[in-house]
Amino acid sequence: MTLSKADVLVIGGGPVGLSCAYSLLKSGRSVTLIDAREIGVGSGGGNAGHIVPSHIVPLAAPGIIPTALKWLIFDAKNSPFGMKISLAPEYLAWLLQFAAACSDSNVQRGIPPLKALGLLSARNFAEMIAAEGFDCHYRETGLLFLYKTEAAFAGGQHEAELLHQHCLPAEVLDTAAVHAREPAALEDVIAGVHFTGDASLNPARFLHLLAERVRALGADLRPHTSVTRLESAGGKITRVITAEAEFEAQQIVLASGAWSPLVARGLGLNLPVQPARGFSLTMAATQSMPRQALILGERRVAVTPLGDKLRFTGRLEVGNLSTTPNPKYIAQIERAVREYIQVDEKLDIQETWAGLRPTTPDGLPVIGFSPRHSNLILATGHAMLGLSLGPGTGQVVAELANGAQTAFDLSPLSLARF
């Protein structure tokens, strides 16, 4: 088996791994990037494509568990949530940790790093796309939440108030204003909240262009290169073993998303990341295309215009590593969209997709050095925000690798918190 030596070895070719490679290359480092599958084609390519600095509240928050149980027990047919039934110790431990983290104190602890990372990423997206000339249907038209009930709208108003407290933009829209803002909305949509600082793009197109640019900057890209073992000694990763080759590197970045715990097995790390599966369907443009990216408030479904295509994305299913689309949930997502906006009677569906969001118990990513390995940087656990937080994560990972001051305090995102 051949031995390859690298300056920085990035494990994972999704939004986070590619962003890390890009920032490292721009900082003058040499990069080898490996992925078990195609680079830039995994779970990141079929997601909603939302860039959301407005998402400052971690997934583990007060009210999440009662809401999820209400959906599962009383309206399972339309529930946007799901859970794998398993007695695996690491899964049960994760669930207990998640339940304990659904607190106001976790929200208050999580807002500062999520806000800092979200704003940094949004800025980096805009600068990168402009500098590189990426044609990926990037649009700074915000994210509009649509509501059909007063109860759900009250929750949206509360979130808008929270954003205002943290100096982030949000507009609360009454019935007339929301229909003026989004003519595709059906008559029974009563209100909306527009997070005007957000953006959207075609994620598959963006990742394809980013991978091409990373290659052009000199990265050695190795798709279909699956890690079988990480060897360590003396507090360092000494060798990365794959079926195709062995690697030695000065620095290693673990950015394998939901597969990160599998890649890191044997290192003695407590890396509590569970997969949270989502689904999407992508179709040719409809007659009444939405003006901007949408979230359908009560149904938790995302709608994204992608140039000459339209995508619907939904469901959060914890604990399932399968990436096979389930027709039942694809149909559920389409049904939900038809409750909110004008949609062609027959859709020209071009792709259905299932992908995995790497989710930690407290809803915050893990970014920082391994507590046991001086040359291993962890960059995983971004949940639904891997694409959105990718360019910011790439910047701070490059700063860590270069021994520079990071753009913001990463200590709340350290693995040591677990």
pLDDT, tens digit, for every residue of 356-374? 999 999 999 999 999 999 9
CA distances from 377 to 3, 251, 252, 305 (A): 22, 8, 6, 35
Residue of 325, 317, 321, 320 lying closest to 350 (CA atoms): 325
pLDDT, tens digit, for every residue of 218-264? 999 999 999 999 999 999 999 999 988 999 999 999 999 999 999 99
Look at residue 53 in the predicted model and tell me its pLDDT: 98
Mean pLDDT, the chain, as a whole number? 96
Burial class (CB in 10 A: 0-12, 13-18, 19+), 323: middle
Strand-pairing partners, residue 102, are none
> What are the residue ranges in the chain where pLDDT is below 70?
none
Look at residue 162 in the predicted model and tell me its pLDDT: 97
- In order of their start, the domains of the chain are 1-77+85-137+200-275+358-418 (3.50.50.60)
Taking the complete model, does pTM exceed 0.85, yes or no? yes
pLDDT, tens digit, for every residue of 40-97? 987 889 999 999 999 999 999 999 988 888 887 777 778 888 888 888 999 999 999 9
Residue of 271, 217, 223, 220 lying closest to 249 (CA atoms): 220
Look at residue 410 in the predicted model and tell me its pLDDT: 98
Look at residue 294 in the predicted model and tell me its pLDDT: 98
